[in-house]
Amino acid sequence: MLELLDEMRMHLNIDHHDTVSLIAQFVATQQTGERGSAAPIEASDIEGLRSGDSHGSIEAVDADGLDVAIGSHARGHRRCIRHSFSAPCSSVDDVSAEFHSLLQAARAWIGDALPLTSFERELAVGHLRTFVTRVGDVRDITPNLRQITFEGGLDDFVSIGGDQFLYVLLPPPGRSELTVDAGFSWASYEAMDPADRPVGAYYSVRAWNPATRRLDMWFVLHGDDGAASSWAQRVEPGSPVALWGPRTAYDPPATTSSHLIVVDETGFGAACAVLDQLLAADPLATVHLLAEVGDASGRVDVPAGPRVTVSWLDRGGAPPGSTSALVDAVRDTAVADDVYAFGAGESRRITEVRRHLR
């Protein structure tokens, strides 16, 4: 968990430094405000964040909180501050939820004085919705991949296609009823009693049927390793659930001539959804799919096209992320200069793939 959290920390510092600076400035003002609340916004805070003079970083993340640093290029000083989470986290998804609520608190503090940061634009904070729905059907695709269909409460859902994904909000551990409604946000999450907070994780949409208003997701079954996996293993039709989103990351530029998709079981749903969209727009799209699987029994039917190549990489029963099969296959694959690569899988291996391609 600590290794994955450190990867998250590096990703945020490198790709979303403006968001991290906002959070660091907000955390710093909490130390000077009354009873842990943030101090009023100073004009210098706003100007520093706008100009980039105020630069923040996440120095460390663990189950109990994060350490941030905030500095000023002009004044040359740097402060390190500890932010404690509202409750100890038992998974990376718990930490992600704490980060979401912290970001919304920082946005509430600074208001419209600062334009949306890069991570906020990616999240479309304030525009994503919560859909309260229920399980309509459960069907096993492979021995360890389960399709769960959601129905009801989705009349206003608008599909954004591609690898669209949502945060699946589940009842708190040991409970069967949802503790959230359609008004849920990460700001409200922070205000909830820890015992009432939903658990969950991000999942991609395999298929959306606008005629029936039903939505399919694929869940990897790996025992009780995670609240969502444990839920998916036991869920029955009629079970309540909420979905927050959708968001998407898949965004190839218009100049793309070929596509490289790199996934393990956790990314099969996203890969098939992306292929559906690509082939609907261009039946002759050039795509190479590298798909890692535990063994042959885990293979799925993949949308086919005359220029779609699928390479199955069997781990021989080894756990996901425990072999170098994916990154080795990418290293052995010839790619065009204008290839667009999309990856979804075990974090450490996808990080290696990204580093190699860059």
| Neighbour tally for 227: CB within 10 Å | 21
CB proximity list for 333: less than 8 A, separation 6 or greater = 260, 288, 290
Which of 212, 247, 282 marks a domain boundary? 247
Q: Are residues 275 and 322 in the same domain?
A: yes
192 and 297 part of one domain: no
Span 157-166, pLDDT tens digits: 999 999 999 9
Q: What is the CATH number of the domain that holds 291?
A: 3.40.50.80
pLDDT in the model for residue 1: 84
Residues 144 and 243 in one domain: yes
In the three-class reduction of DSSP (H, G, I as helix; E, B as strand; rest coil), residue 70 is classed as strand
- pLDDT score recorded for residue 62: 94
> For the chain, what is the domain count?
3
Specify the pLDDT at position 265: 94
Shared domain for 56 and 142, answered yes or no, is no
253 in a domain, yes or no?
no
Is residue 141 a part of any domain in this protein?
A: yes
Helix axes 17-32, 92-110, angle to 10 degrees: 70
Whether residues 93 and 158 share a domain: the answer is: no
Does residue 252 fall inside a structural domain?
A: no
Domain boundary among the residues 121, 152, 176 is at: 121
Q: Of the candidates 220, 247, 274, which is a domain's last residue?
A: 247
| Co-location of 312 and 289 in the same domain | yes
User: Residues 184, 77: one domain?
Assistant: no
Which pLDDT value is given to residue 75?
Answer: 66
**Phi, then psi, of 106 in degrees rounded to 5:** -65, -40
Is residue 328 included in any domain, yes or no? yes
Question: Is position 13 within any domain?
Answer: yes
Q: What is the CATH number of the domain that holds 76?
A: 3.20.180.10
Residue 346: predicted pLDDT: 84
Range of the domain at 160: 129-247
Write down the residue that tokens 């993949």 correspond to: 302
Stated pTM of the model: 0.76
| pLDDT, position 82 | 93
In eight-state DSSP terms, residue 322 is S
* pLDDT value for 171: 95
Q: Is residue 180 part of a domain?
A: yes
Give me the CATH number covering residue 174: 2.40.30.10
Residues of the chain with pLDDT under 70: 32-38, 73-76, 124-126
Residue 185 lies in a domain: yes
282 and 225 within one domain:
no
Instruction: Report the pLDDT value the prediction gives residue 76, as an integer from 0 to 100.
Output: 63
Specify the pLDDT at position 57: 93
Structure confidence at residue 237 (pLDDT): 97
DSSP annotation of 125:
T
CA 303 to chain CA centroid, Å, is: 24
Residues 241 and 262 reside in one and the same domain: no
